[in-house]
Amino acid sequence: MKKYINFIKSLKNIVKTQPFKISALLMVFLFTFILRAHNYERTPTPSHLDEQLYALSGIYLVETGTPVSWSTLDYPKSAEVFKGVLSYKGGDPSASVTLYKPWLDEPPLFSLLVGEAAHLFHADRSGWIPSSFIRFPIILVSALTSILVFLIAMEVSGFWTGVLSMLIYGTEPIMVFASRTAMPETLIAFFFLSNYLSSFEIS
């Protein structure tokens, strides 16, 4: 706890006495956020069926209380509720799927996150969920993850190493693409770094 308090005090001291450092940190954060968020609904292409796996499960879970989604697992025939083409308003993107109820492939946390976003944007659960709806919360989670990257690197090697780490995390192509797709890896990274930072502070 004492180390955690000292860590917070050091951050406050930087804010008060070194405005140039804070300006540099904010500029890097804003630059990487804009890079991550610009046209996020278009790139990668919005036709990723894996994103729909979680989006459909989540929005059905939020709105009906029972998850429904496609699967390649061997579900009983009685669980099949739809077999055909899933599309966005009759056009592209589209894909042939078989939907099952209840869908039990994976834990529901990530599905709830993107499903709640789709629900808040009034998405139609009977069709293709737009990527602009389900990728939005991932952009926010990845922004928070970049802050955790900065905090951990700063604690280990100093302020400027933290800023550089945030810049690399926010511009490395694989990380940028991953933080623009509605897949659970970004949320896993956020929880992993949160847990690591907490244990690092406690130790």
pLDDT in tens, the chain (203 residues): 555 556 666 666 666 667 888 889 999 999 999 999 999 988 888 888 999 999 999 999 999 999 999 998 999 999 999 999 998 887 888 899 999 999 999 999 999 999 999 999 999 999 999 999 999 999 999 999 999 999 999 888 988 999 999 999 999 999 999 899 999 999 999 999 999 888 765 44
Domain boundary among 130, 165, 189: 130
Q: Are residues 60 and 125 in the same domain?
A: yes
pLDDT score recorded for residue 155 = 85
Q: Are residues 118 and 159 in the same domain?
A: no
Domain boundary among 93, 115, 130: 130
pTM of the model: 0.85
Find the domain containing 31 and state its range: 2-40+137-202
Q: For residues 106 and 55, is the Cβ–Cβ distance under 8 A?
A: no
Residue 48 DSSP code: -
Q: Are residues 26 and 89 in the same domain?
A: no
pLDDT score recorded for residue 116 = 96
What is the CA 113 to chain-centroid distance, rounded?
Answer: 9
pLDDT score recorded for residue 202 = 46
Q: For residues 8 and 1, is the Cβ–Cβ distance under 8 A?
A: no
Q: Are residues 56 and 126 in the same domain?
A: yes
pLDDT score recorded for residue 129 = 94
Buried b (16+ CB within 10 A) or exposed e, 32-66: bbeebbeebbeeeebebeebbbbbbbbbbbbeeee
Q: For residues 99 and 81, is the Cβ–Cβ distance under 8 A?
A: yes
Q: Give Cβ neighbours of residue 189 (< 8 Å, ≥ 6 apart).
A: 145
pLDDT score recorded for residue 203 = 47
Nearest Cα residue to 129 out of 87, 90, 98 = 87
Q: Please tell me the total count of domains within the chain.
A: 2
The first and second tokens of residue 95, run together, are 């894909």
Whole-angstrom distance, CA of residue 21 vs CA of residue 31: 15
What is the CA 57 to chain-centroid distance, rounded?
Answer: 16
pLDDT score recorded for residue 44 = 86
Three-state DSSP at 200 gives: helix
